[in-house]
């Protein structure tokens, strides 16, 4: 494999001191458990764990070298190390050097909801035109972004980076590090309200992405969002002369005319400026259709024809825990599990409920929502949880099982006939949900990451596993 970093390059980039033999790293890792042979292991030190304690394990697992700010115990004197003053600072320096040496055209994505899915669609769309590198998973914070950027291959033609935050002032330094040519904001919604007084303040924090946009760059914004004008003005104030928008609004540069949602995907009919375009996304959901318009605008801004970008979206698959669907054998038939367990906000809850409402069920099947607490909503939490009852009614969800103290407000707001049960935690909910499931049901599981709703999905998987067909090996 082509070297991502040599010992000499990494030493210059970080201002560090290399010891031991010269090395060539083909990747970057911060976790000795998932490290691949040839990776540079970065020993980050946090409040609870210090990865310097695992340098020996990393080297034994095949790490090319370790980036450290102190000599780890029990390491050979000639071990391949890169000594720096602070490993997070060193990783950030490596990331900035990766950006300086790259000729890739870069897109950065942020927003209250839809960041990761939009990033993955951009990865597909740009990948149809050339080598593309994108953030793995949701590495979008103060250590995830430099880790992702430091992995940017020299030969990449395009790069896509996700930027996240839950406090003011977090996105600006990340954007200045990534220096995007295109900045996409997917939406401004009521998330992280424990740390913000209003959605207007959330919009201000998301608008920090404009601070790193390269000269001549472009901002792509949600035209239907109440904070569109605020975002547009912030982009102009940051020196961005070109702003485009997407949505249903008649003035949107990319305008959604119609979308059809079925069990396996979404068909989109839209106008890009005044050009008609129709395409298929391999994931069901109207929110995927809307965000795909931002993807097409970004692709064109980076030099990729919109039709080429659109055609690539047929290969889109839902990221883990973000709408992933699978059929599980159950009793005399099967159940459909829609795994939305990665995270939740009021907006993403409503989108997931709409998807469940559109899901096909057999004649006697039911649409069942298993909903865990939405966290970081501050004083508005009780009202926002109870308010989901209207979406559940609108989409004719048959049964709702609520999980967690905040979801008790929704449980109490539901008609008695709709209540399937309530549990204080996902561990206590898993078995009752499995017990109520019957062949033909569609079951959607969603909640904030801290609610650990993935445990409900894991229980359903485990109970279905004995009934799964076994390959005969021929």
- What SS3 class is residue 232? helix
Q: Which residues pair with 183 in a beta bridge?
A: 108, 219
Please tell me the distance from the alpha carbon of residue 4 to that of residue 25, in angstroms, as a whole number.
6
Domain 5-87 of CATH type 3.40.1390.10: yes
Burial-class residue 169 by CB neighbours within 10 Å (0-12, 13-18, 19+). Answer: exposed
What residues contact residue 192 under an 8 Å CB cut-off, 6+ apart?
Answer: 112, 165, 166, 167, 202, 376
Provide the pLDDT confidence category of residue 189 given band limits of 50, 70 and 90: very high
In the chain, where does the domain assigned CATH 3.40.1190.10 lie? Answer: 102-315
State residue 191's pLDDT score: 86
State residue 262's pLDDT score: 86
Please tell me the distance from the alpha carbon of residue 390 to that of residue 50, in angstroms, as a whole number.
47
- What SS3 class is residue 373? coil
Please tell me the distance from the alpha carbon of residue 284 to that of residue 264, in angstroms, as a whole number.
6
User: What's the chain's length in residues?
Assistant: 474
- pLDDT tops 60 at residue 467: no
Please tell me the distance from the alpha carbon of residue 289 to that of residue 269, in angstroms, as a whole number.
9
Rounded to a whole number of angstroms, the CA Rg of the chain reads 24
Please tell me the distance from the alpha carbon of residue 52 to that of residue 85, in angstroms, as a whole number.
14
State residue 192's pLDDT score: 81
Locate tokens 């990729």: which residue? 304
Structure tokens at 198: 């209003």
What one-character DSSP code corresponds to residue 464?
H
pLDDT digits (tens, 9 = 90+) for 159-173: 999 999 989 999 999
Provide the pLDDT confidence category of residue 465 given band limits of 50, 70 and 90: low
Please tell me the distance from the alpha carbon of residue 277 to that of residue 279, in angstroms, as a whole number.
7
What one-character DSSP code corresponds to residue 45?
B
Please tell me the distance from the alpha carbon of residue 398 to that of residue 416, in angstroms, as a whole number.
11
State residue 362's pLDDT score: 82
Cβ–Cβ < 8 Å for 238, 259: no
Provide the pLDDT confidence category of residue 250 given band limits of 50, 70 and 90: very high
State residue 469's pLDDT score: 41
- pLDDT tops 50 at residue 365: yes
Q: What is the mean pLDDT of residues 323-336?
A: 92
In the chain, where does the domain assigned CATH 3.90.190.20 lie? Answer: 324-465
Please tell me the distance from the alpha carbon of residue 165 to that of residue 146, in angstroms, as a whole number.
14
Provide the pLDDT confidence category of residue 411 given band limits of 50, 70 and 90: very high
Domain 102-315 of CATH type 3.30.230.10: no
pLDDT digits (tens, 9 = 90+) for 293-312: 999 999 999 999 999 999 99
For residue 309, give Cα distances in angstroms to 161, 252, 276, 317: 18, 19, 14, 15
State residue 263's pLDDT score: 82
Domain 324-465 of CATH type 3.90.190.20: yes
- pLDDT tops 60 at residue 468: no
CA 118 to centroid of chain Cα atoms = 8
């Amino acid at each position: 494999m082509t070297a991502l970093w040599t010992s000499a390059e990494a030493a210059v980039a970080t201002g560090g001191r290399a010891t031991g033999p010269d090395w060539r790293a083909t990747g970057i890792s911060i976790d000795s458990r998932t490290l691949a042979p040839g990776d540079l292991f970065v020993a980050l030190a946090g409040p609870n764990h210090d990865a310097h304690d695992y340098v020996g394990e990393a080297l034994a697992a095949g790490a090319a070298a370790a980036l450290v700010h102190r000599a780890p115990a029990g390491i050979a004197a000639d071990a391949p190390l890169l000594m720096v003053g602070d490993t997070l600072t060193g990783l950030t320096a490596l990331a900035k050097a990766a950006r300086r040496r790259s000729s890739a055209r870069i897109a950065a994505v942020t927003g209250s909801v839809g960041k990761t899915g939009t990033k993955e669609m951009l990865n597909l769309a740009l990948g149809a035109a050339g080598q593309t590198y994108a953030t793995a998973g949701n590495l979008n914070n103060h250590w995830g972004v430099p880790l992702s950027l430091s992995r940017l291959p020299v030969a990449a033609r395009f790069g896509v980076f996700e930027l996240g935050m839950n406090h003011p002032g977090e996105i600006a330094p990340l954007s200045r590090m990534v220096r995007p040519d295109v900045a996409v904001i997917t939406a401004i919604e009521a998330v992280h309200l424990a740390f913000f007084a209003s959605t207007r303040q959330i919009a201000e924090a998301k608008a920090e992405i404009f601070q790193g946009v390269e000269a001549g760059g472009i901002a792509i914004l949600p035209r239907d969002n109440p904070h569109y004008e605020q975002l547009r003005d912030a982009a102009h104030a940051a020196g961005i002369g070109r702003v485009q928008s997407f949505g249903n609004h008649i003035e949107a540069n990319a305008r959604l005319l119609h979308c059809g949602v079925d069990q396996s995907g979404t068909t989109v009919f839209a106008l890009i400026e005044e050009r008609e375009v129709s395409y298929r996304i391999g994931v069901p959901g109207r929110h995927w259709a809307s965000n795909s318009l931002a993807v097409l605008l970004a692709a064109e801004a980076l030099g990729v024809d919109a039709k080429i970008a659109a055609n690539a979206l047929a290969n889109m698959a839902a990221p883990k825990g973000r709408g992933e669907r699978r059929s599980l054998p159950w009793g005399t038939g099967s159940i459909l599990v829609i795994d939305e367990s990665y995270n939740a906000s009021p907006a993403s809850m409503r989108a997931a409920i709409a998807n469940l409402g559109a899901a096909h069920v057999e004649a006697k099947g039911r649409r069942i929502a298993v909903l865990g607490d939405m966290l970081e909503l501050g004083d508005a939490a009780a009202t926002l949880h109870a308010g989901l009852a209207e979406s559940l009614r609108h989409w004719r969800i048959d049964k709702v099982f609520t999980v967690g103290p905040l979801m008790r407000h929704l449980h109490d707001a539901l008609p008695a006939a709709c209540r399937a049960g309530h549990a204080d935690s996902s561990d206590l909910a898993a078995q009752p949900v499995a017990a109520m499931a019957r062949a033909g049901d569609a079951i959607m599981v969603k909640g904030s990451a801290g609610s650990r709703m993935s445990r409900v999905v894991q229980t359903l998987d485990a109970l279905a596993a004995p009934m799964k067909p076994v390959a005969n090996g021929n």
